[in-house]
Structure 1
């Protein structure tokens, strides 16, 4: 990625706004960022015109970056009502973009699969593109070597069935293809704090999160089938996407600032591609 100034993990980027109200804290386990190389022309129609795709060059081609991010919410809990806790699997589909109004590197959320009845709250109340699914993880983490010996995830009965099997080197990343330097790549891929999306009523929505700097290891793909990307025409039917990188972290803490916001005076026709019935 060619840009004038490299990105770094500044104090401002890592600072945590104190949670309040209905904000959420949660411990995420089996956190993986599986980043795919996608033809920019196939991604642009999904993105609001306010945002520009973050593009890299690789092997003579220009690519957009789309990550599939599976994990387990181990103790999803509201700050002010901490005693009810929920545990569920989740998988996010996100594209890396720059906000033309602020210059910030953020993500565009295509949607989320979530294995819990609680998905009804964001789906109906806040009109988020979140969908009910059955998500199963089969993971074994070796604490001594700080690497996964087994990492499998399968999503079924959903708008976005998926099957993933990863290997883990246990080594920290030393480079990320297409980026001028490693830290710039890590800031973009692992540390977007804001996300935008098409609400289910067509308007532009936004949310924000916080987490500390991730301490990831480098993985590789044995199996990666994402039905959503096939349905959207981003990957040929029956094929796996071209993989840019796999980053793994056994556990990390997240804060989610709620409720998500409706961006004023923005409206788009409701998205129907790859959506699930109500």
Structure 2
């Protein structure tokens, strides 16, 4: 297991699974997790039976959480194939859920700025779509800045002047690190048939920096009825570079078909 990084309050992440030839890898640059409070009942409408929202006790009452996770893929590639690497922007929209006691992320959708978006959509039924994504960030100044613009989403943020004492709804730094930055199992609606797919990832623990949003609009989440226009984020957690293993290919999960909300 990886050694704890400074400021992670003892959060050690998870053991790295054996790297296989059919796994993918990428360095995620200008990585940002923008999280919003949402109604557990509204989120539950987008989940199949057996998947339940992770509910946290916030200052304003119990809530579920969803995130827009934006980054630039650098040299995304499959380990067993010739080194044909992809570099492009990506935004994952995920919710934090449990299935049979296992905590993970439910992927509501993904925006991907590359023609190869058709491959995960057709091969594995993943809810990906093509979208132009522009990411800019500075990390070397005393206070970092970060900005995202896609065909429809806009988010601008600067690093907090001081590290907050904690995040609303979490007793310790270790708690929010585990939930918000380190879900290693993911599920998604697999194609129009509504079945469920699953895959896993690994990355070292984040050395997350705290940001404050000047603007944060994600119409995809608004159309799902989860986030209101102009809603203030619960938190923004960023890091300049984060290496990722993606344990492809995704697998099908036996279970009920997901009803369309």
**TM-score computed with the length of structure 1 as normaliser:** 0.85
Shifted more, 210-219 versus 42-51: the winner is 42-51
Quote the offset at 1:265 in angstroms. Answer: 4.2
Instruction: Decide which of 196, 202, 205 is 1:204's aligned counterpart.
Output: 196
The correspondence of residues 59-98 of structure 1 with structure 2, limited to 5 A, is 59-98=59-98
Quote the offset at 1:80 in angstroms. Answer: 1.6
Q: What is aligned with 2:184? A: 193
How far apart in 2 are the matches of 1:69 and 1:174?
A: 23
How far apart in 1 are the matches of 2:183 and 2:165?
A: 20
Instruction: Decide which of 206, 211, 225 is 1:219's aligned counterpart.
Output: 211
Shifted more, 16-25 versus 189-198: the winner is 16-25
How far apart in 2 are the matches of 1:175 and 1:184?
A: 10
Quote the offset at 1:165 in angstroms. Answer: 0.3
Contact 2:59/2:169 (8 A) holds in 1: no
Change (3 A) 1:170 1:257: farther
Q: Does 1:153 align with 2:176?
A: no
RMSD over equivalenced CA pairs, Å: 1.9
3-state DSSP of counterpart to 1:48 = coil
Shifted more, 27-36 versus 15-24: the winner is 15-24
Quote the offset at 1:173 in angstroms. Answer: 5.5
Contact 1:8/1:184 (8 A) holds in 2: no
Q: Does 1:242 align with 2:232?
A: yes
Change (3 A) 1:268 1:208: same
| Number of equivalenced pairs | 252
How far apart in 1 are the matches of 2:148 and 2:62?
A: 30
Contact 2:49/2:256 (8 A) holds in 1: no
Q: What is aligned with 1:139? A: 137
Gaps of 5+ in 1: 1-6, 274-278
Contact 1:226/1:240 (8 A) holds in 2: no
Shifted more, 259-268 versus 26-35: the winner is 259-268
Contact 1:38/1:242 (8 A) holds in 2: no
How far apart in 2 are the matches of 1:174 and 1:215?
A: 16
The correspondence of residues 92-111 of structure 1 with structure 2, limited to 5 A, is 92-99=92-99, 101=100, 103-111=101-109
**TM-score computed with the length of structure 2 as normaliser:** 0.90
Instruction: Decide which of 234, 240, 245 is 1:255's aligned counterpart.
Output: 245
How far apart in 2 are the matches of 1:181 and 1:9?
A: 10
Quote the offset at 1:82 in angstroms. Answer: 5.0
Quote the offset at 1:97 in angstroms. Answer: 1.0
Contact 1:154/1:162 (8 A) holds in 2: yes
Change (3 A) 1:172 1:78: farther
3-state DSSP of counterpart to 1:267 = coil
Q: Does 1:121 align with 2:119?
A: yes
Quote the offset at 1:261 in angstroms. Answer: 0.7
Change (3 A) 1:260 1:217: same
CA deviation profile, 1:238-276 (whole Å, cap 9, x unmatched) = x2223111101000100001100100244334x4x6xxx
